[in-house]
Structure 1
Amino acid sequence: MIPELPHPALHASHSGVWIALPDGETRAIGRGEAIRIAADTPVLLLNAPLVAQRLGYGDLSGLDLLELWAFLRPAQFMVPTPKGLARATGLAPPDTDAGVAPFLREAAAAMLALCDGDWPEREGAWSGAQALSRLRWPWVPLLSGRIARPARDERWLFSKLPEWEEQASRPAPRIVTLHADDVTARLDRLTGKGAERREGQRAFAEAASTAFAPRDMRDAPNLVLAEAGTGIGKTLGYLAPASLWAEQADGPVWVSTFTKALQRQLGHETERLFPDPAERKHRVVTRKGRENYLCLLNLEDALQGGFAGRAAVLAHLVARWAAYTADGDMVGGDLPGWLPTLFRRNGSTALTDRRGECIYAGCPHYRKCYIERAARASADADIVIANHALVMVNAARGRETTTRPTRYVFDEGHHLFDAADAMFAAALTGQEAIELRRWVLGPERNSRGRRRGLSARLSDVASYDEQGGRAIADAVQAASALPSEGWLQRLNEGEPFGPLETLLATVRGLVYARDEKGAADAGYGLETELAEPSAELVEAAGPAGEALDALVRPLVALGRRLEALLADAPDWMDGAARARVEGAIASLGWRAETVGAWLALIARIGGPADPDFVDWLAVDRIEGREYDIGLHRHWLDPSRPFAKTVLEPAHGALVTSATLRAGGDWDVADARSGAHHIARAPGHFAASSPFDYAAQSEVLIVTDVKRGDLSALANAYARLIVAAQGGTLGLFTAIRRLRSVHARIADRLAREGLPLMAQHVDPIDTGTLVDIFRDDGRASLLGTDALRDGVDVPGHSLRMVVLEGVPWPKPTVLHAARRMAGGGKDYDDRVVRAKLAQAFGRLIRRADDRGAFVLLSAAMPSRLLSAFPEGTPVTRLTLDEAVLRAQRLSSGGDMVQEVHEPTRPA
């Protein structure tokens, strides 16, 4: 019994519901009784949204231990499960579901006991609790008597954050040549004395070093494409020459990834380069897009009344975190990924700059801004850990032109094509247009928040320039023609307002008229080629184009006036004002470029097709509910603008991946990396994985699960997971089938004591789902493409990957165009092999891993088996036989060596 906790604790899982009462009694209860108790009595919970989902009671609230942890230990990692909570509090974890409820009371008491001492994050806790008391946060009564008022007033967040300082621009990197012996010596230092000598890693490091050689021709970088199988150690293999070049040339190397998981892994690996934390903080910087970072001005607005209710509680918890975070990164940084999900959709995105409304030096927190600090730190760093999207955005429209890197390493290089496809695309849709309207006009009617329009952001600057002020007024007037709040409802009612909404209404009508999917595929979006447009669409395009032209002209004029203002350098323009004007110019250029792309799309209506692009019309839907409508344009080959924008200006680049060729030849890798579009031929390097796939893994192709039979599919997943006793990653090509299978098997697995989580089902972010999966060897996880590409779970926690079927590409307009240009069926095969190779790559991550890759498809063509590592045993068998094989995985038994089909057919 814990007398200081007057509240019962409630725990719900797929196998039942339990309550632990203050008098020490613990008992199982029904869902109805649990809902009644939770509605009448404050209860202790762990992850309230998850418990609410399992009870079927969306309004569930209580004292969530995760919220208490976020308040007491901000910026500290914890897996949000009973096991993770036990580890964090130093308690013994509960052995059964029935033991979780009393454990929650014990854990709550242990966490509250922190307040009795001087814990590391004590500063700010008292004032934070006072602010939360006004919001009636349920933990405040239990905290208020424990957190003593400090002897002196606590420094508030905005006064305690450090300021960055201006520095002289870094000189251009020196011209240096790396010597092979030096690269090898650096690699030996990174791997450590006594480490096993890996010839593949040494050869990879030597090949990677050629990307750092001096450039011989303008617009012709030293490009190296290197496929390094899993286990080669490619991270240290390229960090060796990269760090050596940065040291000798005094220039930064940008290491770009596709997933946040690899970014975090790279951050850990750089500890070998710079063991001293202070030096590492200076020499290694992680960069992400500005939408990932906390905006201090938005936070201040939220704390001062811009947020209400639960969203305001989130803002105060984020403020606690902001005082202790390493870098202010809210997405993948040290903010717990589960924290925003506890508040559902209330406020987390409004705390970042997702609309490009930053006022730069006009912000009172500019000198403390996390984004600006990261940008300046990266200019002086040796290694900058970035991502593909940020690299492309900076190259295309970044403000940091004087510090643009000359050397890149693109890890997870097989994703470059897709990243470029997203970056260089254009979409004139209702959602995009209304965002532009908000950016220009600012808040309208009763909208809340700090959002400012163009006039408010630049009024003081433009007041010094009459033509600039006139351009702002013209832009504001023109933006009123863009779609506004309620546009989608007006379209559904047949009453569009303005030329853009009329265009979108006509697009919607034409898409439905040409729809061939019908009711059989009512859950998904619809699309049709932008070819042979109707007379109505051509007629609507004219006024829409005129409206956009009326908007882009003042935006361009304003940008030019601001550029002239910079050139004139009036007396009032100090460094801060100059930075603000430069930021405004960059933002205006981005928006003008966007509207220019929309005009090109509209010009396509009734005009000739451009062979470099694929254009189509679409109605986007989720489960039959429309959420956007518009025109889309993608490059037929997005590696072309990537090569022009990123590769050509660089002096050297390494593109590497474990599946760069995806079972094909180098021509595939060249085409998807942009190598075909630069003047100098790339270098090629390949090293096979050192793993013994014949002994460590097998591919099982199940032949008796009927395609389209959801009951049979669910039964197959359940039987395989039970046989392997968890440790299964289940991959799906459609969210609808994932949800259907999860609903059918979750309770069954719970009765076996096997936890099951699912992306798109559980109210938990993907990164946290992977953390939970990694932490529990009996858990299984269902997901889609994000899990196929971004999961790194070595060891016994992941011992089986189950794929619902051959991941054939969706027959979209874009895919059809690329298929026709890329060789028809051969193009499809390349896409499928790449997906299969990535999915299989989740299985064996280190030398002692064992596992099975199960494909539930009798229609798996033998020609696609080259996607798997050479020597991997492949067997076609029944589900019953696959279940027997899976049973061996639970005990870590050896793989079955019998092979019914070779991996690589002659």
Structure 2
Amino acid sequence: MPETSSTLPTVRELLTTAVASLGGTERDGQVRMADAVHDAIRTGEHLAVQAGTGTGKSLAYLVPAIRHAVERDSTVVVSTSTIALQRQLVDRDLPKLSAALAESLGREPEFAILKGRGNYLCLHRIDTGAPEEPDDGLFDPFAASRVGREVSRLHEWAGQTLTGDRDELVPGVSDRAWRQVSVSARECLGATRCPSGTDCFAEHARAEAGRADVVVTNHALLAIDALQEHQVLPEHGLVIIDEAHDLVDRVTSVATAELTSAMITTAAKRCGRLVDAEIADRLMEAADGLTMVLDDLPAGRLDTLPENLAGAVPAVRDAAHACLTALGTERKEEISEETARKLARTLLEEVHDTCVRILESFEPPLAERRDVVWSSGEPGGEGRRAPTLRVAPLSVAGMLRDRVFGARTAVLTSATLALGGSFEPLARRWGLPPAGPGAGPGDGSGDGPGNGPGDGSGGSAPRAARDSGTATEVAAPTDSDRISWNALDVGSPFDHARNGILYLAKHLPPPGRDGLGEQLLDELTSLVEAAGGRTLGLFSSMRAAKQAAEALRERVEYPILCQGDDATGLLVNSFSEDPASCLFGTLSLWQGVDVPGDSLQLVVVDRIPFPRPDDPVQSARQRAVEARGGNGFLTVSATHAALLLAQGTGRLHRTSTDRGVVAVLDSRLATARYAGFLRASLPPFWQTTDPEVVRAALRRLDEQAGTRPAGSGTEAG
């Protein structure tokens, strides 16, 4: 989207104004990033920017984005992965920035937040009530009464809220209660037909977004906008994808479908009063048949279609199709009838289409499949999850390339994008041409042959061949593709090598399958004691986190908090407020903890976070790479581990004065042949394998905690 000459101040001038107004300090990385984003807007070339914590990346992309939106009278979309970042942008960054730039731009830029329709109260459902649903196992009267109380509170809230946004309801409610007062986009009657259309919260949010210069949304809605034929987001030519390291997983989640006996039963009940009883009963019988099959089906990936499932799934598909045929085409009728027909049709279509997708996924040869199917849940027993069939894409690269990068200019940013020193591992997953311009971090000169984990073919191979390790629905990119992208690593203002130590516990035995070994627990105990608490323990499983918590509660005098003991947010607050405490947990803590200062001076990782061998999607992706001649372990498992390791170790430094140790108690990070790739994905800490050096550094930090002046930057080691 080439730009014409403008009377507006330059990006540099606006950035200087914003930084001065907000009371900040201009940072070299922030300036470089703002210039690069402006160049991407000007040339239309996509941009991937790695910006370490403390860079001020939000300001670096918002300033050129807002300038572009005001100059062109257009909308820019900013997509994030977490609610926390959405809130930061909408509640803090954008209000302050809009006020700061108003005089320079000639008007105050407008911004809005937009979420999926299911995140807003539906006034029509509030008025008419939710359709009758199956009990979903809620035979416990206490559980049922709790949901009833939550629904009553939602009805009261409906008369008070101005936005209907679920995230503004504090405390929140269960998903089951929220489903009673919300509808999906497919269930919605539409503003013109709905009696509450003029007051609809979701429609008001969409209208506000359509008038805004900047619309903040999430990766899920970005995926829905790309996957569906009708437009969900406002028309836009520029999208900023923050927390881009999480994009593929979020899009994959949106593109995953599931089939359960409960949803089939619900579909049969919804159409029971609208079609002949015999037709609805046929679907109910098919649901019963699938229930019996799923109860006997072991959890795990399905490479072949079991014989009993090969009979049950087509029976559901055909019965759902018969119900859809009996419902007929949409017609004008009483609102109550139209609502009932819409709800029935929506769920029937979902059931039918998921059955078709599951069955079709088994038709191609194993190496050519685009979807993976697996069974999950725990059949039988009180309180267990209902057995479920799920189907997910092996790759979303083709969809992202065609529907996102092919339609608009994209800027992707995160503190973690260059894995193993290269942007290419994530670029491949996004669908950008491998070995693109500036694929290596830094000077934009490319990463050269073999720097990234790759697929074993080397950096000089043709692009189509190098992308063949990914199973995609859309053909792999070739050298004739016109998608052009650049990459930039603006570094971090933090002095990682001076203020942080990466401790590789080389002397410990490799991790086993039988939980945490005694040597590892002894090592963990000595580190926590040396640090005086102040420890965030990141574990590969909840079982390991609980084992470590139980063991250390008997060995040390410091409070040991463990994920699951209370709400995670409350645990993080307690950990932050008590420097002597430790917090142990699993996946959500790897990316979701922001505790600056003396409360966190030791981050412990129990083992390299490779995906579980029985993870259906990751294992299928790895197999697909290997079937096409690539290195599945490096392309999938090592990339997954590098991303989580980089996110986890990033918990240590949240401000420029933070100091401490990252201790990885998995000796493979020092000894394995792939260890160099993983270590190159981490911040440039000073490294050691000497436990005495580490314990001495932690003891010094413990002694100095609370006494050193801000900004001293004294070396941790």
Give the structure-1-normalised TM-score. 0.61
Tell me, in whole angstroms, the C-alpha distance in 2 between the residues paired with 1:288 and 1:281.
Answer: 23
- Equivalent residues in 2 for 1:396-435 (5 A)? 396-397=227-228, 400=231, 403-428=234-259, 430=260, 433-435=261-263
Q: Is the 8 A contact 2:361 2:369 kept in 1?
A: no
AA of the residue aligned to 2:19: T
Q: Is the 8 A contact 2:537 2:603 kept in 1?
A: yes
Q: 1:352 to 1:528 in 2, by over 3 A?
A: same
- The answer on 1:550 being equivalent to 2:322 is yes
Q: Is the 8 A contact 2:264 2:351 kept in 1?
A: no
AA of the residue aligned to 2:58: T
Q: Is the 8 A contact 2:504 2:688 kept in 1?
A: yes
- The answer on 1:375 being equivalent to 2:187 is no
AA of the residue aligned to 1:833: A
Tell me, in whole angstroms, the C-alpha distance in 1 between the residues paired with 2:78 and 2:127.
Answer: 33
Tell me, in whole angstroms, the C-alpha distance in 1 between the residues paired with 2:645 and 2:404.
Answer: 29
Tell me, in whole angstroms, the C-alpha distance in 2 between the residues paired with 1:716 and 1:348.
Answer: 46
Cα deviation, residue 328, structure 1: 3.4
SS of equivalent residue, structure 2 residue 653: coil
2:37 alignment partner, one of 197, 205, 208: 208
Q: 1:543 to 1:324 in 2, by over 3 A?
A: closer
2:95 alignment partner, one of 268, 271, 277: 271
The residue that corresponds to 1:830 in the other structure is 639
Cα deviation, residue 661, structure 1: 1.9
Cα deviation, residue 888, structure 1: 3.2
Cα deviation, residue 228, structure 1: 1.9
The residue that corresponds to 2:165 in the other structure is 329
SS of equivalent residue, structure 1 residue 395: helix
The residue that corresponds to 2:688 in the other structure is 875
AA of the residue aligned to 2:418: R
Cα deviation, residue 638, structure 1: 1.4
SS of equivalent residue, structure 2 residue 58: helix
User: Structure 1 stretch 365-374 or stretch 353-362: which is displaced more?
Assistant: 353-362
SS of equivalent residue, structure 1 residue 628: coil
1:758 alignment partner, one of 548, 562, 579: 562
The residue that corresponds to 2:596 in the other structure is 794
1:255 alignment partner, one of 62, 78, 87: 78
Measured against aligned partners, the alpha-carbon deviations of 1:471-526 in whole angstroms (never above 9, x if no partner) come to x537x86555456xxxxxxxxxxxxxx334434544554x54xxxxxxxxxxxxx3
Cα deviation, residue 586, structure 1: 11
Tell me, in whole angstroms, the C-alpha distance in 1 between the residues paired with 2:413 and 2:364.
Answer: 41
Q: Is the 8 A contact 2:70 2:109 kept in 1?
A: no
The residue that corresponds to 2:449 in the other structure is none
The residue that corresponds to 1:502 in the other structure is 289
Q: Is the 8 A contact 1:873 1:897 kept in 2?
A: no
Q: 1:737 to 1:897 in 2, by over 3 A?
A: closer
Tell me, in whole angstroms, the C-alpha distance in 2 between the residues paired with 1:300 and 1:887.
Answer: 63
Q: Is the 8 A contact 2:302 2:372 kept in 1?
A: yes
Cα deviation, residue 455, structure 1: 8.6
Cα deviation, residue 247, structure 1: 0.8
Q: Is the 8 A contact 1:508 1:618 kept in 2?
A: no
Q: 1:277 to 1:642 in 2, by over 3 A?
A: same
AA of the residue aligned to 1:255: V
Cα deviation, residue 183, structure 1: 1.3
The residue that corresponds to 2:376 in the other structure is 619
- The answer on 1:739 being equivalent to 2:540 is no
The residue that corresponds to 1:21 in the other structure is none
Q: Is the 8 A contact 2:606 2:665 kept in 1?
A: yes
2:505 alignment partner, one of 697, 702, 717: 702
Tell me, in whole angstroms, the C-alpha distance in 2 between the residues paired with 1:717 and 1:336.
Answer: 38
The residue that corresponds to 1:465 in the other structure is none
Q: Is the 8 A contact 1:728 1:780 kept in 2?
A: yes
- Equivalent residues in 2 for 1:163-242 (5 A)? 182-192=10-20, 195-213=24-42, 222-242=45-65
- Equivalent residues in 2 for 1:111-190 (5 A)? 182-190=10-18
SS of equivalent residue, structure 1 residue 698: strand
2:662 alignment partner, one of 829, 853, 858: 853
Q: Is the 8 A contact 1:180 1:206 kept in 2?
A: no
Q: 1:253 to 1:454 in 2, by over 3 A?
A: farther
Q: Is the 8 A contact 1:705 1:856 kept in 2?
A: yes
Tell me, in whole angstroms, the C-alpha distance in 1 between the residues paired with 2:572 and 2:101.
Answer: 27
AA of the residue aligned to 1:885: A
Cα deviation, residue 726, structure 1: 3.6
Tell me, in whole angstroms, the C-alpha distance in 1 between the residues paired with 2:645 and 2:687.
Answer: 14
In structure 2, stretches of 5+ residues that fail to align are 134-142, 434-476
Q: Is the 8 A contact 1:617 1:632 kept in 2?
A: yes
Cα deviation, residue 360, structure 1: 5.0
The residue that corresponds to 2:491 in the other structure is 688
2:303 alignment partner, one of 530, 542, 556: 530
- The answer on 1:805 being equivalent to 2:607 is yes
SS of equivalent residue, structure 1 residue 762: coil
Q: Is the 8 A contact 1:257 1:388 kept in 2?
A: yes
Q: Is the 8 A contact 1:174 1:250 kept in 2?
A: no
AA of the residue aligned to 2:93: E
The residue that corresponds to 1:652 in the other structure is 409
AA of the residue aligned to 1:269: D
AA of the residue aligned to 2:699: Q
In structure 1, stretches of 5+ residues that fail to align are 1-172, 216-221, 443-452, 457-471, 484-497, 513-525, 566-571, 899-906
Measured against aligned partners, the alpha-carbon deviations of 1:844-871 in whole angstroms (never above 9, x if no partner) come to 122111121111222223422112223x
Measured against aligned partners, the alpha-carbon deviations of 1:359-389 in whole angstroms (never above 9, x if no partner) come to 5556665444432222221111111111100
1:885 alignment partner, one of 693, 697, 700: 697
> Larger Cα Rg: Structure 1 or Structure 2?
1
Q: 1:724 to 1:397 in 2, by over 3 A?
A: same
Cα deviation, residue 393, structure 1: 1.2
Q: 1:841 to 1:542 in 2, by over 3 A?
A: same
The residue that corresponds to 1:290 in the other structure is 117
Tell me, in whole angstroms, the C-alpha distance in 2 between the residues paired with 1:680 and 1:420.
Answer: 20
Tell me, in whole angstroms, the C-alpha distance in 2 between the residues paired with 1:679 and 1:174.
Answer: 16
AA of the residue aligned to 2:505: V
Q: Is the 8 A contact 1:426 1:594 kept in 2?
A: no
Tell me, in whole angstroms, the C-alpha distance in 2 between the residues paired with 1:710 and 1:479.
Answer: 56
Percent identity, aligned pairs only, is 26
- The answer on 1:643 being equivalent to 2:398 is no
- The answer on 1:727 being equivalent to 2:534 is yes
Cα deviation, residue 262, structure 1: 1.2
2:679 alignment partner, one of 862, 865, 878: 865
Cα deviation, residue 617, structure 1: 3.2
AA of the residue aligned to 1:210: D
Measured against aligned partners, the alpha-carbon deviations of 1:696-724 in whole angstroms (never above 9, x if no partner) come to 11111234656333665555545544443
The residue that corresponds to 1:12 in the other structure is none
Q: Is the 8 A contact 1:359 1:583 kept in 2?
A: no
Tell me, in whole angstroms, the C-alpha distance in 2 between the residues paired with 1:769 and 1:327.
Answer: 30
The residue that corresponds to 2:138 in the other structure is none
SS of equivalent residue, structure 2 residue 377: strand
Q: 1:399 to 1:355 in 2, by over 3 A?
A: closer
Q: Is the 8 A contact 1:529 1:617 kept in 2?
A: yes
The residue that corresponds to 1:115 in the other structure is none
Q: Is the 8 A contact 1:360 1:583 kept in 2?
A: no
AA of the residue aligned to 1:738: A
Cα deviation, residue 660, structure 1: 1.0
Q: Is the 8 A contact 2:320 2:349 kept in 1?
A: no
Q: Is the 8 A contact 2:372 2:620 kept in 1?
A: no
